[in-house]
Structure 1
Amino acid sequence: VYLDMHQDLWGVKSGNGAPAWATLDEGRPHARNPNLWQESYWTSPMVHTAFDNFYANKPGPDGVGIQDRFAMVWRHIAKRYADDTTVIGYDLFNEPYPGSPMKMLPFLIAAKMAKMRADNGEEVTVAGLLEEYKSEENRRRTMTEVAADEKLLKAVLEGLEPLYMTYERDALNPMYARVAKAIREVDRNHIILLEPGGGAIIGVRSALQPIVDAEGRRDPQQALVPHAYGLPMGDPSTVHMSLIFVRISQLAKRLEMPVIVGEWDADPGNNGDRRPMASFIVSQLEKRLYGDTFWIIKPDLQAQPYFDAIQRPCPMATAGELLSYDYDRDARVFRCKWNERPSIGQPTRIYLPLAAFPKGFTTELTPPGSKCHQMPCGSGRFGVLLDIPPVTDATIRELTCK
């Protein structure tokens, strides 16, 4: 389990998250699109003002800075869970966005689109495109077009980089540093989980920085928890999702951090079949050895036709370095390879959902070593755990279940 300070559109007055008393909106109105709630990030004066005042640490009703209060909340939570081994870490802020700078987002997209279309010989103006985008149907058509064309997609995302990177450097990184400092006053055990700015969700490059202390020493317990979704109003494509995962990998490499993809969905738009997109995203997760949490787990999730694509065998813990793993759904074969270090003194643990092997399974282990120990996962109704004791010497091991 990790704890996520969740918000959408800042707080309860406009979406969910911060309480009303912590929403310093200065009485500004909220602009809401019932068909696409995310648009309020760039259209709502209430949301803009609440975020602006949060990053500026404006005083709340009690005279204490609202960002200071936010850090105090995290300190209180961290103190409560400091010795709780069920919790692995703290996701400091869900999908952080700028405030009023987001008003520029439609203009930046229109400017980049106008240039690209003019380069192709079309007569088009930024003002004309902004007028076009007033139609929801036109916005959806444009975003779907962008998501499917790699050249156009990269150009649009590049046009958004100055907005998001400036925000991360000037507001997001300092806020994370403040909150991390408060947490480390009471808890040095758990992982600080950092989400890049909201632009990274769709593949915009990020200026996120690691947490360091007052002496510039890097915090040893931190990880990256990006989200991966398509463009708002657009139907996602494998072209777009591939680019998002490339950008996540580049960011993780620069920051030297492990990755949990904190949210992803497989909605192909227009109520289409989610299974192909779900399978594609899972292949990206397995290829890059990322942890993940699927959004959103509902009571009827197991009844969904795409559930088979997202439930899969996976390593929960390896006694050494995980090298690769994958699950071939057609052949019903799972493989996992790791570089085992006996000094860790713990078994490698694999989760196997029973639905992945409806007729049962056999295991092959190289080098053989001791036998796998099988036990129920929870009630055992849906899956089992395999514990693989380490061998005596460091070696590369491989498990096959089929």
Structure 2
Amino acid sequence: MDKILTEGMRFRDGDGRIRLFNGMNIDDKLLGQRRFRYDLDEDFFKKYAAHGFNIIRLAITWANLEPSPGCYNESYLESIDGIFSLAEKYGVYILIDMHQDLFSGYGGVGAGDGAPEWASLTDGNTPKEHKFVWIEGYLWGKWVHSAFDHFWKNDKVCGRGLQDRFADLWQMLARRYGDSPALFGFDLFNEPFPGSESKRMFMSLVRCALKEIMTSKKIDRRLIAKSLVKKDMPTLLDCVGGNVVRDIMSNIDALVREFDLKKYSPFLNKITAAIREITPNGIIMIEQSFLCNGGVSQSVPPITVNGEREPLQCYGPHSYDMTVDTPLYKYANADRVKAFFGEMANTQKRLDVPVIVGEWGGCSDNKDTSWFPHAFELLDFFDDMGWGQLYWDYHGDDLDSPLMLMLSRTYPVALAGEPVSMHTDRENGTFNLKYRSDAPGESIIYVHTQADISCDGEVSVIAEYDGGAKLLSVRTEAGEHSVEIRWKKR
């Protein structure tokens, strides 16, 4: 497998080709596991590669890895070893994600996951079940706020700081997987959350939201009233577009900036330095605060180790429509989500790093195709930005489900040149790619179904899959090139 490097806002391989990544999140957020939740066996990887996926964000938790202080779960790690071995065989990269929601699973109370109970210092605040949606724990969960506060302060458990123990955990993983050809990198901490400081942020958001709804010229209040009377939920939700949400969220930019600079950035530097003591390999993924998923500006600077900029780092933004995790998700608004990602594009430019969207999607029914127009708009946006993507998330039978009609798609895996344009016309069944190169080279293109290919280069087949899907080699000389792929609609 090619070692993946970074150069400015691009991923590149050892031949200097631009690399694009498409895949899924596969998570194990369950408690008390002895092995990884899913059996990602040979059959899984055959199907995964056949659908054109070349990366997995493997979401694992501190609780399953270190059930007691300093004691690692060897049987669990052996199951991860097997995943890495098969990933290498099938050319699939692994991004290790240390996942958390609400900091911890708290012994099975509530909807959280992440840290083990011994690392969750709640100051006596009792975890509670949510009434409507799981993020309630972030809004007013004192147990969640306390646990994060202690973590950011690096308070001690059994004589050692929480972040120090977290760094030890990452060093163990770096030692175990740092030399694997399948290693893409390390996603250090899923959606970090400020802790008790968030109370000020949420109160500010409520005040600003009410003010915007009452005064903003971007909102049609007559249409809101009419929609309320008619109980027309889609129209009502569309009245609050992405530009309005960004206006609201911008009111806490300064508060999140304080968290980013004083707590999150030092944490990233600390954990990265610990990993680099073990291995120079693996791209470090910078995430963003949970609050930034909805359009708050992220302010973390590039990661540094011993005062020097870390050479292998990328940005992994997450975003969903505000209706996610509710029955209203069928009314998701792509323009609203694209406005959030537009703010994240500003962060990419400031950091000058490549992007893989770490989470998007979020539909829990892999047979539901009604939301595909929303998903296609986002995929096209990612392509326009030159971003990779990791869909949230895998449910065990997705590779044989209608979800693949959306996620399995034609794209350039490796591009021997600079892209000029790339466009998928799903209505007419075409994919068009234009690029220019300064020297002869080989590009690799995944084609998701039986198709006709026309281009000005030499085309050969690297691999063939069921259903007519192929992995193609396209060899070209220096100059401007175009590739057109046509297929019958599925």
User: Normalising by the residue count of structure 2, what TM-score does the alignment of the two structures yield?
Assistant: 0.69
> For residues 268 and 74 of structure 1, what CA distance do their matches in structure 2 show?
30
Aligned mate of 2:310, from 219, 227, 230: 219
The equivalent of 1:129 in structure 2 is none
Q: Could you list the per-position Cα deviations for residues 247-295 of structure 1 after superposition, in whole angstroms to 9, with x for gaps in the alignment?
A: 11111011101100011016599x9921111111111111111100100
Does the CA contact (< 8 Å) of 1:105 and 1:160 recur in 2? yes
Aligned partner of 1:182 among 274, 289, 301: 274
Q: Is the 8 A contact 1:274 1:306 kept in 2?
A: no
Distance change (3 Å), C-alpha of 1:92 and 1:324: farther
Give, in angstroms, the shift of residue 400 of structure 1. 1.3
Q: CA, structure 1 residues 381+364, in 2 after alignment: closer, same or farther (shift >3 Å)?
A: closer
How far apart, CA to CA, are the structure 2 residues paired with 1:177 and 1:90?
13
Instruction: Name stretches of at least 5 consecutive residues in structure 1 with no aligned partner.
Output: 122-140, 355-359
Instruction: Give the paired residue count.
Output: 367
SS at match of 1:263: coil
Q: In structure 2, what is the equivalent of residue 7 of structure 1?
A: 100
TM-aligned CA deviation for residue 74 of structure 1:
1.0
> CA, structure 1 residues 164+304, in 2 after alignment: closer, same or farther (shift >3 Å)?
farther
Please list the CA deviations of residues 188-210 of structure 1 after superposition, one character each: whole Å capped at 9, or x if unmatched: 12111110111221111111111
Which residue does the alignment assign to 1:332? 429
> What's the offset of the Cα at 1:57?
0.2
Aligned 1:35-74 pairs, distance under 5 A:
35-60=132-157, 62-74=158-170
SS in 1 for 2:126: coil
TM-score, length of structure 1 as denominator length: 0.83
Change (3 A) 1:303 1:105: farther
Q: Aligned with 1:31: secondary structure? A: coil
Aligned to 1:168: 260
Verify the 8 A CA contact 1:201 1:244 in the aligned structure 2: yes
* SS in structure 2 of the partner of residue 278 of structure 1: helix
Q: Secondary structure at the match of 1:189?
A: coil
Measured in 1, the distance between the counterparts of 2:461 and 2:402 equals 32
Match of 2:447 in 1: 352
Deviation at 1:68, TM superposition (A): 0.7
Write the deviation string for residues 364-390 of structure 1: whole angstroms up to 9, x where unpaired.
Answer: 112x3x33334125xx46732112234
The structural deviation recorded for 1:105 is: 3.7
Contact kept? 1:146, 1:152, Cα under 8 Å: no
Residue among 460, 464, 467 paired with 1:376: 464
Q: Is the 8 A contact 1:317 1:350 kept in 2?
A: yes
- CA distance in structure 2 between the aligned counterparts of 1:52 and 1:19, rounded to whole angstroms: 16
Distance across 2 between alignment mates of 1:259 and 1:120: 33
- The structure showing larger relative contact order (alpha-carbon pairs under 8 Å, at least 6 residues apart) is 2
Of 382, 386, 389, which aligns to 2:472?
Answer: 386
Structure 1 residue identity aligned to 2:447? L
| Alignment RMSD | 2.7
Shift of 1:342: 4.0
Per-residue CA deviations over 1:335-388 (Å, capped at 9, x if unaligned) read 223333547x6x31111222xxxxx3111112x3x33334125xx467321122
> Which has more strand, going by share of residues?
2
Contact 2:242 2:338 in 1 (8 A): no
Among candidates 374, 390, 396, match of residue 293 of structure 1:
390
CA distance in 2, matches of 1:68, 1:202: 30
Per the TM alignment, residue 39 of structure 1 is displaced from its structure 2 partner at its CA by 1.7
Q: CA deviation at 1:50?
A: 0.8
